[in-house]
Amino acid sequence: MVSSSGTGSNALLRTSDGEQHNCGGWGHLLGDEGGAYWIAHKAVKSVIDDVDGLRISPYPTHNVWEVIREHFDADTRADLLPHAYKNFNKSQFAGLTVKLSALAYKGDELSRHIFAEAGSALAAHVVALARRSTAKRLRVVCVGSVWNSWDVLKPGMLNELNAKKVKCELELVRLKVSSAMGAAWLAANKINYDLPRDDEAFCQVFHKYRPDAVNGDAKVKHNGQVNGNLNGVENCGATIGFIGYFSLREKVTAATVVNDLKGRREKYNFIADVVAVSAASVVYIEIVDGRRIDAFTGKKLKISNGSGFIIKEDGLILTNAHVVVNKPNAIVKVRLTDGSTHEALIEHYDLQSDLATLRIPVKGLPTMKLGTSADLKPGEWVVAIGSPLDLSNTVTAGVVSSTQRAGSELGLQDRNIVYIQTDAPITFGNSGGPLVNLDGEAIGINSMKVTYGISFAIPIDYVKEFLAKHKTKSPQVSKRYLGITMLSLTPSILMELKMRNPEMPTDIQHGILVWKVIIGSPAFNGGLQPGDIVVKINGKPVHNTTDIYNILESTTGSLKIDAVRGRQQINLTIVPELH
């Protein structure tokens, strides 16, 4: 028997007399139970239904919701609608399952519950086909990415097998070779060419289900062995599985010689080498509201999170200003790679350059070496490291697209500053973390992602200037504060956004893209949302972020905001705070 669970799911049984039976495989609208898309869909639906009050989730949903938000780059449930309709992509949905699996292995109850349900669904496929066989023992070849999460599938699967009173023994195995070898064996069998089978060499048993172990009858003789041999049952009653645990070593030369690849992993694994050198200095940063409680957890409400990296062994940490600058009652917490958590003080910040330093009361910390961005070249490999969603040392890699993206285009008031543009994904969670070259040196600080394949980092040479300027603490000047991260919409960025988002109005010629809104900030309270495009403030057109800074400095009182949200024109009133 073959049980396949990747993006979708299906199962197949081929008996010793040549009969073939299928179960599932009807696509995501009619089936795919237990597949990655099914799991992801169930997770999203659980959160939405719980909030709507349609079906109350049996377990807290906040961790799953955070993973969903990060995966789809969404802040609200409404932001998920394009992914469910116009921009629906089954594979993208299914990709959420990898993150849910990580959450389940960390102990999240809702994720574990969903994976147990997936295990039950996959067991139902096995039960349906096992009834068509007279064999006393069946081998189930388990293929597809979902089976990699066996530990969290297992409870649901065993419960289903027990409930349906499966009478035969089952051996769940995973392949150690290409499935093409099984296809070759079937082809040889078709022309009556005898090829020997060596189950032990090409598959590994990872679980054995025995009805006698369930009903307590210890007298039933157990004929199978963990090494894959099936003793005492002729032909297993069925030719179980055609995907490829058959040995072709004696009569067939495999199309891919696995030994030829030996050593490549060690030779070319340069990304892992960079991470090994750099990751210990990367920290997770969480901002909580000291006066508000999360109804789900009973703990202080988390209002922002991001990453940073240690640059001095006495506890000095570098990050983005938008990660840590919040309302006055906010508490900044830093978690190190050893798992310890420390309350941090904000030493310096600059909202216009989006840089900040924190300090924690710990000595002897591992530090990140600061390189130089002056000699950075387009096409050079870089690695973005961070801790999105409380998941430590999450790594993405890409190449430098441009080293000369003008700061005036992207929101820095100092027009001499340029950004590094890269296709390495930068999300809310790894903002503030380091952008590292292949020498393990920080050459930038992750700042923002505009859309898929377009992310920006602040060059480390400018960061060094910021650090030098603040060696001696100067008096802080109160500034009017909105609580947003923003991006100037230059003609080139506008064109790129319109190409990637057909719903974007074609008549927008200028404006500011709101990339992030800090919870509890004036912008948040005034109704501004990520993805909004601000086109006017107090009746005056805005073309870049410098215009917004100038308006904040030259006015008092509330601001009248004209913005575009999707295809709608909206009008908001926001009262900035002094900060």
Paired tokens of 45: 């639906």
Determine the Cα–Cα distance for residues 372 and 380; give it in Å rounded to an integer.
Answer: 14
Determine the Cα–Cα distance for residues 88 and 65; give it in Å rounded to an integer.
Answer: 19
Paired tokens of 386: 């961070």
Q: Are strands 20-24 and 355-359 parallel, antiparallel or unpaired?
A: unpaired
Contacts of 267 (CB under 8 A, 6+ apart): none
Given 108, 354, 532, 562, which residue is catalytic?
354
Nearest by Cα to 282 from 362, 370, 396, 392 = 392
- Is 322 known to be catalytic? yes
Determine the Cα–Cα distance for residues 561 and 568; give it in Å rounded to an integer.
Answer: 14
H-assigned helices in 178-282: 180-190, 199-202, 211-215, 264-268, 270-278
Q: For residue 437, what are the CA distances in angstroms to 212, 428, 553?
A: 57, 21, 38
339 SS3 class? coil
165 SS3 class? coil
Hey, which residues does 289 pair with through a beta bridge?
Answer: 301, 330
The Cβ of residue 233 has, within 10 Å, a number of other Cβ atoms equal to 16
> In terms of C-beta density within 10 A (0-12 exposed, 13-18 middle, 19 or more buried), how is residue 283 classed?
buried
- Is 28 known to be catalytic? no
Nearest by Cα to 320 from 185, 219, 220, 462 = 462
Distance from the Cα of residue 538 to its chain's centroid: 39
Which value, to the nearest 10 degrees, does the dihedral of the CA atoms of residues 171, 177, 181, 186 take?
10
Paired tokens of 188: 């040889």
Paired tokens of 258: 């696995």
Given 101, 278, 431, 447, which residue is catalytic?
431
Given 41, 71, 125, 322, which residue is catalytic?
322
Nearest by Cα to 315 from 386, 350, 390, 367 = 367
Q: Which residues are catalytic?
A: 322, 354, 431
